[in-house]
Amino acid sequence: MPLLAARPSPLRTGAVIAALVALIPLVAVLITAGGQATDSLTPETFWRYARTSGALVLLVGLGTGVIGGLAAWLVALHEFPGRRLFSWALVLPLAAPAFVLAYGYASLFDVAGPIRTAWRTAFGWDPPFEMRTLWGAALVMTLAFYPYVYLTLRAALLSQSSSLVEAARTLGLSRRQAFMRIALPLARPALAAGMALAVMETLADYGATSYLTVQTLTTGVVRAWAVFSSTAEAARLALPLLVAAAVLLWVERANRKAVGEAGQARWRGIEREHLGGVKGWGAAAYCSLLILFGLALPLGWLIHLGWAGDHDIARLVSGARNALGIGVVAALVTTLLATVVALGTRHDRFLPRLLSLGYATPGAVMAIGLLAPAALIWRAFPSTASSVLMALTLMVLAYAARLMAAALEPIDAGLQRVGSSVGAAARTLGEDAIGAARRVDLPIASGALFTAALLVFIDVLKELPATMILRPFGFDTLAVMADYYAKDERLGEAAWPSLVIVLVALPAVLWLTRRVSHSRPGDPT
Amino acid sequence: MTAAIEVKGGVKRYGPKTAVDHVDLTLQAGRITCLLGPSGCGKSTLLRLIAGLESLDGGTIEADGHDITRLPPEQRDIGLVFQDYALFPHLRVEDNVGFGLKSMPAAERKARVQELLGGVQLADRARSFPGELSGGEQQRVALVRALARSPHTVLLDEPFSGLDSHLKGAVRDATLGMLRASGAAVMLVTHDAEEAMQMADDLALMSEGRILQRGTPEDCYRNPVSIDAARLLGEAQVIPALIRNGMAETAFGSIPAEGEPDGQGQVMLRADALITGDGVPVAVTESRFVGQGWHTRLSADGVSVSVRLPDQPDGQLQVRLDPQRVQVFHPS
């Protein structure tokens, strides 16, 4: 029931203004795409980029679906040695940006790298696998993004009430049959939603693909801007990415809705099947390998490289300071905007849906979309603000535009748990809409606000393309430093900022996962 | 006496559905009005409209003669006890109760909160959080929180539905006492006919967005305006009747139907409407002991009814209708 829908509320107005922040760059991309072209983009190039992006999406989608899906199935429905540990450890690769894995694997599989050298010594011939290819990029991103599928599918399987499978068993189905005919169909929307998230990240990636010399639409956007200084071309390359974002978003939303409706009443957890002997150890080995390849191996190799290589502590400290500073500011601004949107749109899904489009949009595209409005402001008020402050503001706006939807999700969930009646109670006790939000809704949802801020912070820390495009001259973040050194083939130096990112993100990811996985249907709230 | 709250022609629509359909309702200061209706009949919507949590699509709401139709809830001076109590989980009991008293000086507020909590035997739970209280205690906190600002009107939305049945009676009595002492106009929304009749000074029967009948509980029970209204207050059975010369003839005997035109009609009767003794012979098809009597199914002339009899009936039984406990209707 819409609360006071007939009266214009200050919260509602605030929500619309906050949402505009996310929508302006998207509209600007469309307008910019119609601008003057410089002929450097031929149709052939365009289609080559598009084909590569398409192939990458397909491979990573399937890869994460299989690898992450299997992991979720094992952990959620089986008991085996180390299951409790794996259930959260399998999420850890989320702490490492894809480009960090790319550095590690490219170096490991280098001609002079340890794997090829060992292989040649053992077999006398060169291994056929090359990392700087489409297949290599797909492997790296599959390892980096499988946790999205793992998390959504595991949550879906855990939230299914055991009574459904039990009913199927009493109707004559075996355990396997019950899984295939009941549990899996019920969890299929979650699988699709997780894969959609993994694919969104794949399309957004710039650091890993560009380092592995794979040319996608996203690297094309950055290239058009950096090499050809053509925002119009960058924007044109961004158009199919925007369409893809909209499609993926639709897939993710449509499927997520179905997830929520499965098996709600009388929730009781599924009893796990005990995997004994070889099977149990096989499951444990599988999970260990995922963590090994998804995090430990590439990270370990980077530690080794970093230890051996040079490092510039002063630059590292300044990069870390910049990254943490902009991360904190972006987290605060984005959480604030998302809170305003959440409070103003509690019974209306339209604005949040528009914001989600921002989330599905690659950072590079968002940055291109901000350049045009920024230029307008620049021309209108040339001397009012320092260029550094302007650029920093643009960065924060780009992050906010992209991540507002991500922040909105926990805040919305938190407010929904609060329920609408406490807010209404505050109103009947003499508080106006803003007072009720300040004294009741927000204090109760404070945990959700922190979760939202942390989510944004991690994403900003790992973000590369938008930062590259919008940052003020000389403003290096950890990700930008890593990219710069890596492209310069100084992996020993690239390793340090990479490792600092992972080190900061790791505890945050861990905390977030534990928090999310501890809230289940049937838990007292 | 002016009405504390007067709803005139209140209309609320959700899309094609009219949740509240031209409702007139008056709440008097110092009187308890129970709004009784099945779930989904619009009674909670009507309550939210009066509280200002929803806005009317048509009609007006007045408080003491002033139009408050467009006033936001915080300016209406109406207390509301929510069905789920809506206690603020992050605030202690004392801060919940004192929530609406922020304009009061701290010392005065503290005293008022203590007085209110003392009144419901919860003085020792002032420092607790709502989650630490039992259901009955939460209900009392919700009640005194709504009363804290001494509102001219108090609305209660199914206030006892969350309680165990063995608690209900005691909590109901205590609530009734608090409400009477407050002198406010009270409206209590419920779907429980027994509860409504126990609490109400005035009863309003609601169905499908409309108020069917208003009156005292006894009046509504004894003289329902329609079969729908009758059914809201308990099991009501309908048997066919033939109305002739001011008498309604049924399979279970005749009763006076003065002023009713001749023709086909219906007679509504409740479980206590049949008197055994002289009358029409009936067949007993089933009889079960249910504590307060014998729940018995009787049939005559192919018409069957369920009644409650004080003693176990034997096979042969004669009954007649108690004219005080039946109602004659014309089919619409």
Whether residues A377 and A361 fall in one domain: yes
- Supply B35's token pair: 């709004």
Residue A277 has φ and ψ, to the nearest 5°, of 55, -130
Are A335 and A462 contained in the same domain?
Answer: yes
Q: Quick check: is A524 in a domain?
A: no
* Residue A176 maps to a domain: yes
Q: Choose, out of A429, A439, A449, A525, the residue to mutate when testing the contact with B (most B CBs < 10 Å).
A: A429
- Which residues on chain B are in Cβ contact (under 8 Å) with A443? 90
Rounded CA-CA distance A409/A406 in Å is 6
From B96, which residue of chain A is nearest by alpha-carbon distance? A426
pLDDT value for B301: 87
Higher pLDDT, A201 or B166: A201
- Domain shared by A124 and A270, yes or no: yes
Nearest by CB to B86, which of A7, A425, A430?
A: A425
Co-location of A273 and A408 in the same domain? no
- Taking the Cβ of residue B55 and every Cβ of chain A, the question of whether any pair is shorter than 8 Å is answered with yes
Same domain, A250 and A365: no
**CB of A205 within 8 A of CB of A138?**
no
Q: Which residues contact B166 (CB under 8 A, 6 or more apart)?
A: none
pLDDT at A356: 83
Tell which of B20, B47, B53 to mutate to test the A interface (max A CBs under 10 Å): B53
Residue B12's pLDDT band, with cuts at 50, 70 and 90, is: very high
Domains of chain B, first to last:
3-231 (3.40.50.300), 237-329 (no CATH)
Among candidate residues A363, A127, A147, the one with its CA nearest the CA of residue A242: A363
Confidence of residue B56 (pLDDT cuts 50, 70, 90): very high
Instruction: Please count the helices (runs of H) and the strands (runs of E) in chain A.
Output: 25, 2
Residue A187 lies in a domain: yes
Using an 8 Å CB-CB cutoff, list chain A residues near B14. Answer: 1
Same domain, A202 and A245: yes
Q: How far apart are CA B95 and CA B114, in angstroms?
A: 11
Provide, as residue numbers in chain A, all residues whose Cβ is less than 8 Å from the Cβ of B145. 425, 429
Average pLDDT, rounded, for chain A: 86
Separation between Cα atoms, residue A293 and residue A112, nearest integer Å: 20
Query: Cα dihedral angle (A205, A211, A216, A219), rounded to 10 degrees?
Result: 70
For residue A277, tell me if it sits in a domain: yes
Same domain for A424 and A353: yes
Nearest to B53 among A419, A427, A432 (CB): A427
Domain co-membership, A402 together with A465: yes
Q: Is residue A8 part of a domain?
A: yes
Q: Is B78's CB within 8 Å of A428's CB?
A: yes
Q: How far is A434 from chain B (nearest CA, A)?
A: 12
Query: Per residue in A445-480, is it b (16+ CB within 10 Å) or e — as a string?
Result: beebbbbbbbbbbbbbbbbbbbbbbbbeeebbbbbb
Question: Rounded to a whole number, what is the distance in Å from the CA of B332 to chain A's nearest CA?
Answer: 35
Helix axes A363-380 and A10-33, enclosed angle (nearest 10) = 100
pLDDT at A383 over 80: no
B306 contact A CB<8A: no
Start-to-end CA span in chain A (Å):
23
How does A414-429 read in b/e, with b if 16+ C-beta sit within 10 Å? bbeebbbbbbbbbbbb
Q: Are residues A303 and A317 both part of a single domain?
A: no
CB contact A3 to B (< 8 Å): yes
Chain Cα centroid distance, residue B146: 20
DSSP state letter for B132: G
Burial A58-78 (b: 16+ CB within 10 A, else e): ebbbebbbebbbbbbbbbbbe
Q: Does A300 touch chain B (CB under 8 A)?
A: no
How many domains does one find in chain A? 2
Contacts of A83 (CB under 8 A, 6+ apart): A74, A75, A272, A283, A284
Q: Are residues A270 and A298 in the same domain?
A: yes
Cβ separation B54–A430 shorter than 8 A: no
Residues of chain B in contact with residue A417, where contact means CB-CB under 8 angstroms, are none
Q: Is B33 helix (H, G, I), strand (E, B) or coil?
A: strand
Contact A218, A364 (CB under 8 A): yes
Averaged pLDDT for residues A153-159: 86
Q: Nearest chain B Cα to A431, which residue?
A: B74
Q: Does residue A320 sit in the same domain as residue A294? A: no
Give residue-wise pLDDT tens across range A64-91.
Answer: 999 999 999 999 989 999 999 999 899 9
The model's confidence at residue B110, banded by pLDDT at 50, 70 and 90, is: very high
Closest residue, chain B, to A8 (C-alpha): B72
Residue A115 lies in domain: 40-307
The answer to whether the Cβ–Cβ distance between B86 and A444 falls below 8 Å is: no
Determine whether the interchain pair B79/A421 forms a contact, defined as Cβ–Cβ distance below 8 Å. Answer: no
**A496 domain residue, yes or no:** no
DSSP sequence for A52-99: HHHHHHHHHHHHHHHHHHHHHHHHHHEE-TTHHHHHHHTTGGGGS-HH
Domain assignment of residue A249, yes or no: yes
Contact B73 A428 (CB under 8 A): yes
Cα four-point dihedral sign A220, A226, A228, A229? positive
Cα separation, A239 vs A245, in Å, equals 10
Residue numbers in A near B82 (CB within 8 A): 421, 424-425
Tally DSSP H helices, then E strands, for chain B: 8, 19
Answer with the one of A307, A324, A342 that is the final residue of a domain: A307
- The helix/strand/coil state of B225 is coil
In angstroms, the Cα distances linking A36 to A39, A157, A308, A368 are: 9, 51, 49, 15
- Tens-digit pLDDT profile for residues A310-324: 778 888 999 999 999
Do A284 and A198 fall into the same domain? yes
Neighbours of A274 (CB within 10 A): 10
At A208, the amino acid letter reads A
Asked whether residue A506 is domain-assigned, the answer is no
Radius of gyration over every alpha carbon of chain A, rounded to an integer in angstroms: 24
Give the tens place of pLDDT for each residue, A255-276. Answer: 766 555 444 445 566 778 888 8
CATH value at residue A109: 1.10.3720.10
Q: Cβ-count burial of A523 within 10 angstroms (0-12 exposed, 13-18 middle, 19+ buried)?
A: exposed
Please give the interface size between A and B, counted as residue pairs whose CB atoms are below 8 Å apart: 80
Determine the average pLDDT of the residues in A292-312: 90
Asked whether B143 and B186 are in contact (CB, 8 A), the reply is no
pLDDT, mean of residues A280-292: 95
Closest partner CB to B53 (pick from A3, A429, A440): A3
pLDDT reading at B222 higher than 90: no
The tens digit of pLDDT for each residue in A411-439 reads: 888 888 777 888 889 999 999 888 988 89
Between A346 and B63, name the one with better pLDDT.
Answer: B63
B79 contacts on A by Cβ (under 8 Å): 428
